[in-house]
Structure 1
Amino acid sequence: MELIYNSQMPEHKIPFGAVETGTSIEIKIKTTKEDQLHCNLVTYCNEKSHVHSMEIVSEMDYYNIHKVVFEAPEEPCVMFYHIEAVNGWGTLYVGNNPEKLGGESYVYRENPVPFQITVHRKGIQVPEWYKEGIMYQIFVDRFNSAGEDNLYKDRKGFVKYTNWHDKNRYIKDPKGHILYWDIYGGNIKGITEKIDYLKRLNVSVLYLNPIFEANSNHKYDTADYEKLDPGFGKEEDFDDFIKTCKANGINVILDGVFSHVGSDSKYFNRKGAYSTLGAFQSKESPYYEWFDFINYPVDYDSWWKNLSLPNVKEMHPTYLAYIVTGQDSIVKRWLRRGIKGWRLDVADELPDEFIELIHRETKNVDEESIVLGEVWEDASNKVSYGNLRKYFLGNELDSVMNYPFKETFIKFVLGNMDATVVLKNMMSLYENYPREYFYSCMNLIGSHDTVRALTILGEAPAEYKIEDFEAFEYELTVEQHQLAVRRLKILSFLQATFPGIPCIYYGDEVGVQGFRDPYCRKTYPWGKENMVLLDWYRKIFGLRNDLEALKKGDWKPYICKDGVFSFIRVHGNDKLLCVVNASQGTKELQISSKNAYDILNDKPIDNLLKAEAISCHLIRMVDNR
């Protein structure tokens, strides 16, 4: 018996991937004729299921083709489906493969893993400035310091390094609690001072880690959403920064930490440092009902049981009005000050209704603004706290941090994942995400929460195998560093050429190393940059910025096997072949063009490309006519 179905092939499913509401969908399955099977398509969405009888529409020598055409729901949802194949011997179920990657089907005797169709709102559109841009992420304290003032003077709880290039580490007591927050003095003026540097890197979008007043160096413990942290400068410094960014074609996205606040804040005020009546101090506080106290006042719901980060009730009317819906809400007032969007910290911790309201209110202030979410998995089918999230149905997020991209391609470049599996992972996202969102994903290879890319690519020990003092001291050997730089070049090339918006984590472009937090948050090494690597970044992201095919072109896989991952980007008459050989040996690829030219290496290519070990190629192809 044969049951043949592939969700990613047009002979089995039309249209490909996600669909708008009300779209007509055609499903076909091929079965062996002698088994005399009757097939049903079973769909389920929002706890409602439907059985669609499939009819035989074509008979071949050995096979029958069963077909059904049905309408997608009129309301956005994540729809799942499988196919029943029934005859006198019983029922078999055709479903997704156990890896849930879509494409080739798997036959089950019971409990099939379903395929997915994301049914999204009609007419979704992400602003071009974002999806065609190049992003740069800055951890403000560690990027650059400008101005003579010591902005942390007389501020308790902080220790400032006197040498910008000193290694950073947390200053803790024997129980692991932070005694003092180490800071370097990076500030908003410092970023403004380096706008020309960012422009040379072709950056058009800046994503800043939290900048609101807070009593840590990371600022994820907000003390006052209304103010710039005084350690980062004065309010006019921020306004000057926005003005300079706009004059240079750069848009700014801020980190919105809205699932929790700091215990040392004007809202909670556990230490009594603020003049406000905080929720910790009195049940009469205007903020008391924002928090969930278990044993007032010392025991309360907090982010991952960290009592310095009390969770808020996002849907409480007064909190919602203060942050989102009010006339002068936090979300709106910073947009009016000139930012262009929000990155939502721990989006999984925020209710769908809350995110939807943020999306609606930001668009009301600026229809060209965007909402980006921190989501670490496939955002189309993410389940958090028992709920299937609605991130990509059209009313919540415009983009997500593409951690699946990061994890997949780092494994590929290290030789730990075959190119065929890489393709399956990327095709799964391509199938599950609405096309507009697939082309708008924030493609990162590192962040403030992960080991630095160069450290990983140099085959440093796994972080769980290394003690903290070793992580503090660790540097790649000369041999490791050389290998890591070669690998970082091809990994950054994938960022520059793959659909989505590439994001450079500050310092990656000049070879900053480091294990996970806090060691991935070192200072930018001004005066000690790896200039060879920086020139490479300027080159490939310059190409990304100049070539329309790389910014908006259609994507089609080419040859993906034996350590080679390649794909084509097409826009109008421009056809670019992007090739990465992550293996340790030379690979040969047939090129279906007699007039191919390797843009990166500045030379013509015959019908055969010889890709050396750990190399990349950007080839302009001219169709033979």
Structure 2
Amino acid sequence: MSGVINRYAVLHINSGTYAYAIDSHTLCIRLRTAKNDCKSVIVHYMNVYDHSTNRKKENMAKILQDEHFDLYEAKISQKEKHFKYFFELIGEKEQVFYTSDGFMGNEVKNENSFFFPVINDDEIYKLPKWAEGATVYQIFVDRFNSSCDKGFVNADWNDKPLRSHFFGGDFKGIEDKLDYIKSLGIDIVYLSPIFSSATNHKYDIEDYYSIDEMFGGRKELSNLIKSIHKKGMRIVLDCVFNHMSSNNKIFRDVLEKGQNSQYKDWFYIHDYPVSMEICNYDTFAGCVPSMPRINTSNRDAMEYLVNSAVYWTKELGVDGWRLDVADEVSARLWRHFRTEISKVNSEALIIGEIWNDASKWMMGDQMHTVTNYKYRKWLLDFIQGKIDAVSFWNKMASNKMLYKTMSYNYLINLLGSHDTKRITSVVGKEKAMLALLMTLTYQGIGLIYYGDEIGLIGMEDPDNRRTMPWRKISEHDTEQFRQLALLKKQYPSLKYGRMRPVTDYRNIISFERIMPDQTVEVYVNFSDKDVEIKDRVLLFNYPEINKVNTSINCIKALSFAICIKNQKGGYGK
């Protein structure tokens, strides 16, 4: 650190993730600087309509650090909802002010300030409290559990799946296993698409207003959702608005009537007549004729799709939606979707399937959270020895900098899904179990893809959609998850606490989950060597799950541990 502040690295924008309202009188303000460039940062602020120099001050906390930058944050409140502010940066050799007019010396005038003119009620960033730090169980319905024999089944339950296979999993089969699901500490059951379709995956919907009879139809789905709610869990359904089935009557009308179809503008037609053979229209992934891409900017298409989700939210008591291929659907549709769904269920959780930077969809008017595939990428790179722990934390910090702090306890951290290789097939069962335990204690919403908890294997689709081998599953196979679920109830910091990386170790992942009255530490050793740590009291250990409430100073090879660092109020006694 030279002592001279690197002006090129300093960044603030008076909107987006750098300035946003968290309640009717409070702003969350951020400033980026070069890594380790400042000893402290202070935000000076006052009412827009106060023309004096009687400014308030708030020290900003360094909340994130990656390879190149530090991110500072402060919450500033005042009775008036009108804000103007600027920053004071203190380095080793200089002190400067950063304003909307750039860098200044000691004299900053009010008109040099950044302005946040007013906090309007509909601009306050809100998230469903019930979903904070939750655990999701993702079910591919056809492969989870079958309640009865069915005529359309064309494979034995334990066969390796082909794309054409139907195994007969259904809603009643899921209902029969809710005690098992609940025992894993699950808060949210997320189902793959359940609307009428001729395929096993049903991501090509033929009728948005019909529940597929292969799975049991509307009545059985309603029974399942009621049972899920009775168990104290929530239900999330899969919403497929980017494309539909070529057998959907809407697209069939276009195939039959061409330019005379009332639905021709619902799709991206290149020329007429429309032909599935030459595929002269846009499709999902650019090459799937059976899945024509919907023009979600078309007002009529937009209303039809959104109204279907509103209908089912109201009729079935749906608690949330996962939005398939969310980054290819019109932003205007998602804004309309959120507005209309919120009218029916103001606490409904909206999850976007987005694999990269999703910040533009998480400004507060579209999605509450997204699938955090970057977590999967960088954790796998660490486990496979491609990066060390320092690099892992740098990458994760860079990713978190994209999002508002309030969303950190909501990002969907996942190790696999129906679109990826199974985690056990990638890193082996021992390391897969450690990774899954880490995911369930990491800051955010942890997702278990059905079967990952028992080490189910599978490579690319359709192999990653194997059936649950119920006859081979014993209580011993999932004991660690039941014990962890109990511990998370006893130590709420594992669910709601903020996270601080522990960067003392290059070869293991360690982090703290922190609440004002409680701090716990998580250690994950994916290596084949023991690692010494400071003396700690062990709360949870895997694979030796019974060795708890003892003092330890070592994390054994291929093991996972949760330790208590400090605590007030007697939790765990």
Same fold, TM-score > 0.5, yes or no: yes
| Alignment counterpart, residue 537 of structure 1, candidates 469, 472, 481 | 481
Aligned to 1:470: none
**Offset of residue 193 of structure 1:** 1.4
| Alignment counterpart, residue 379 of structure 1, candidates 358, 361, 370 | 358
Distance 2:74 2:471 in 1: 51
Distance 1:545 1:281 in 2: 59
The answer (yes or no) to whether the contact 1:346–1:374 under 8 Å persists in 2 is yes
Q: Structure 2 matches for 1:561-572, cutoff 5 A?
A: 561-572=505-516
**Offset of residue 552 of structure 1:** 0.5
Instruction: In structure 2, give the amino acid aligned to 1:302.
Output: T
Aligned to 1:64: none
**Offset of residue 603 of structure 1:** 3.9
Q: Structure 2 matches for 1:497-576, cutoff 5 A?
A: 497-529=441-473, 532-576=476-520
Name the SS of the counterpart of 1:147 in structure 2. coil
Distance 2:403 2:421 in 1: 27
* 1:259-299, Cα deviation, whole Å (9 max, x unpaired): 11111211112xxxxxxx44544433332221121122121
**Offset of residue 149 of structure 1:** 4.3
Distance 2:419 2:440 in 1: 22
User: How many residues of Structure 1 are paired with residues of Structure 2 in the alignment?
Assistant: 493
Moved more, 283-292 or 420-429: 283-292
Distance 1:70 1:447 in 2: 47
Name the SS of the counterpart of 1:502 in structure 2. strand
Distance 1:122 1:533 in 2: 47
TM-score by length of structure 2 reads: 0.79
Aligned to 1:330: 308
Distance 1:23 1:262 in 2: 52
Aligned to 1:352: 331
Aligned to 1:26: 87
Aligned to 1:428: 398
Sort the Cα spacing of 1:8 and 1:331 in 2 relative to 1 into closer, same or farther, 3 A: farther
Distance 1:612 1:186 in 2: 40
Sort the Cα spacing of 1:123 and 1:19 in 2 relative to 1 into closer, same or farther, 3 A: farther
The answer (yes or no) to whether the contact 1:263–1:308 under 8 Å persists in 2 is yes
Name the SS of the counterpart of 1:260 in structure 2. coil
Sort the Cα spacing of 1:604 and 1:143 in 2 relative to 1 into closer, same or farther, 3 A: closer
Distance 1:2 1:516 in 2: 52
The answer (yes or no) to whether the contact 2:149–2:168 under 8 Å persists in 1 is no
Distance 2:244 2:320 in 1: 20
Instruction: In structure 2, give the amino acid aligned to 1:444.
Output: L
Sort the Cα spacing of 1:70 and 1:513 in 2 relative to 1 into closer, same or farther, 3 A: farther
**Offset of residue 217 of structure 1:** 1.5
**Offset of residue 489 of structure 1:** 2.4
Name the SS of the counterpart of 1:517 in structure 2. coil
Q: Structure 2 matches for 1:291-310, cutoff 5 A?
A: 291-296=267-272, 297-298=274-275, 299-303=280-284, 304-310=286-292
Aligned to 1:94: none
1:366 is aligned to 2:367: no
Distance 1:346 1:19 in 2: 34
Name the SS of the counterpart of 1:622 in structure 2. strand
Name the SS of the counterpart of 1:309 in structure 2. coil
| Alignment counterpart, residue 262 of structure 2, candidates 286, 289, 297 | 286
Instruction: In structure 1, give the amino acid aligned to 2:333.
Output: F
**Offset of residue 539 of structure 1:** 2.3
Aligned to 1:229: 212
**Percent of aligned pairs sharing the same letter:** 28
Distance 1:285 1:127 in 2: 41
Instruction: In structure 1, give the amino acid aligned to 2:416.
Output: G
Sort the Cα spacing of 1:339 and 1:149 in 2 relative to 1 into closer, same or farther, 3 A: same
Instruction: In structure 2, give the amino acid aligned to 1:160.
Output: N
**Offset of residue 411 of structure 1:** 1.8
Q: Structure 2 matches for 1:197-212, cutoff 5 A?
A: 197-212=180-195
Name the SS of the counterpart of 1:520 in structure 2. helix
| Alignment counterpart, residue 319 of structure 1, candidates 282, 288, 301 | 301
The answer (yes or no) to whether the contact 1:279–1:287 under 8 Å persists in 2 is no
Q: Which runs of 4+ in 1 moved over 6 A?
A: 18-21
The answer (yes or no) to whether the contact 1:496–1:544 under 8 Å persists in 2 is no
Sort the Cα spacing of 1:222 and 1:23 in 2 relative to 1 into closer, same or farther, 3 A: farther
Distance 1:523 1:23 in 2: 58
Moved more, 433-442 or 286-295: 286-295
| Alignment counterpart, residue 260 of structure 1, candidates 233, 239, 243 | 243
Q: Structure 2 matches for 1:53-452, cutoff 5 A?
A: 53-55=103-105, 70-71=113-114, 73=116, 123-150=124-151, 152=152, 160-161=154-155, 163-170=156-163, 181-269=164-252, 277-296=253-272, 297-298=274-275, 299-303=280-284, 304-324=286-306, 329-336=307-314, 337-380=316-359, 390-452=360-422
TM-score by length of structure 1 reads: 0.73
Distance 1:586 1:340 in 2: 44
**Offset of residue 29 of structure 1:** 6.1
Name the SS of the counterpart of 2:523 in structure 1. strand
Name the SS of the counterpart of 1:561 in structure 2. coil
Instruction: In structure 2, give the amino acid aligned to 1:349.
Output: E
The answer (yes or no) to whether the contact 1:40–1:51 under 8 Å persists in 2 is no
Instruction: In structure 1, give the amino acid aligned to 2:364.
Output: G
Distance 2:567 2:479 in 1: 32
* 1:489-522, Cα deviation, whole Å (9 max, x unpaired): 2211211211111110001111110101111011
Aligned to 2:15: none
Name the SS of the counterpart of 2:469 in structure 1. coil
Q: Which residues of structure 2 form unaligned runs of 5+?
A: 7-32, 42-59, 64-70, 76-81, 569-573
The answer (yes or no) to whether the contact 1:41–1:53 under 8 Å persists in 2 is yes
The answer (yes or no) to whether the contact 2:88–2:96 under 8 Å persists in 1 is no
Distance 2:443 2:264 in 1: 46
**Offset of residue 132 of structure 1:** 3.1
**Offset of residue 530 of structure 1:** 6.6
Distance 1:443 1:242 in 2: 24
**Offset of residue 363 of structure 1:** 1.0
Instruction: In structure 1, give the amino acid aligned to 2:173.
Output: G
Sort the Cα spacing of 1:563 and 1:619 in 2 relative to 1 into closer, same or farther, 3 A: same
Distance 2:224 2:247 in 1: 28
Instruction: In structure 1, give the amino acid aligned to 2:565.
Output: M
Instruction: In structure 2, give the amino acid aligned to 1:71.
Output: F
**Offset of residue 24 of structure 1:** 4.0
Name the SS of the counterpart of 2:448 in structure 1. strand
The answer (yes or no) to whether the contact 2:141–2:191 under 8 Å persists in 1 is yes
The answer (yes or no) to whether the contact 1:222–1:261 under 8 Å persists in 2 is yes
Sort the Cα spacing of 1:301 and 1:144 in 2 relative to 1 into closer, same or farther, 3 A: same
Q: Which residues of structure 1 form unaligned runs of 5+?
A: 43-49, 58-67, 77-119, 153-158, 171-180, 270-276, 381-389, 458-483
| Alignment counterpart, residue 39 of structure 2, candidates 11, 21, 30 | 11
Sort the Cα spacing of 1:520 and 1:69 in 2 relative to 1 into closer, same or farther, 3 A: farther
Distance 1:501 1:191 in 2: 22
Instruction: In structure 2, give the amino acid aligned to 1:446.
Output: G
Sort the Cα spacing of 1:73 and 1:311 in 2 relative to 1 into closer, same or farther, 3 A: farther
Distance 2:495 2:402 in 1: 21
Distance 2:229 2:112 in 1: 50
The answer (yes or no) to whether the contact 1:214–1:224 under 8 Å persists in 2 is yes
Instruction: In structure 2, give the amino acid aligned to 1:490.
Output: L
| Alignment counterpart, residue 52 of structure 1, candidates 91, 102, 116 | 102
Aligned to 1:583: 527
* 1:284-319, Cα deviation, whole Å (9 max, x unpaired): 333222112112212112222322111111121211
Moved more, 295-304 or 523-532: 523-532
Name the SS of the counterpart of 2:554 in structure 1. strand
Instruction: In structure 2, give the amino acid aligned to 1:599.
Output: F
